[in-house]
Chain A
């Protein structure tokens, strides 16, 4: 097990990227796909029109870009950090999505949901106080 200055910082920076770009990509992709008409049939022409509409949508491309950032951050952080550290820590995205829905979209957030966010924060805080790296490279 190693403990170097900067390890926690770079782990936190990449987790932050995952927490932001993961849900953002999902939302953009979902919004982009909802704007295009459903596939009329499985005929080759309809399939082509569906994919053409999807891949000419700016929101879909922004979504794919966001999810690519998410995945790159995910595999990079896993090159040193424990999976059992990264997986629960990335659940903070639920908290961020709830907070943004409340602050920017003025959605009503139920007390149960706030309690869940609090539990997630508590869980991430608890996991975050363990060492991010307990194994050596294979």
Chain B
């Protein structure tokens, strides 16, 4: 079974960021022929651990478990509220402690929420470059939801459905992820000696 991890950096409860994340996860599941195991993570609950990991260099057990889950995911939905024209600091900090190899070749669906549609390019100017740096495979459709999208026929549902289809296709195109831990399989020393 493929594993989908859904990250929401929403701050309030209920949160429109979480709402969008859930809709994107549902669309991905609906578009997936095979079974999909979905795990949803609220970064808010890990806020202190994320800051502590930034300061100390190691993650507390609860955060480490989530980092491991993300590093083993076959697909990722990542949704942030827009803050000062970018993703939230907590959202970025999570990926700073995740490490830069964890998402290589992993399909990612990006989403963002904001007060008005004027911020919608946050997806292209902030989120997409972050995941490009991490060498993730970001699906073409990112979904931005402004507050008024939740009460209008603005095509949000269609965008969500298209994005979910794209992510499901990318997950299906890859064999299930096998995570190699160098602590289990070290590079033999003769090889290190060159």
Q: Do A and B come from one complex?
A: no
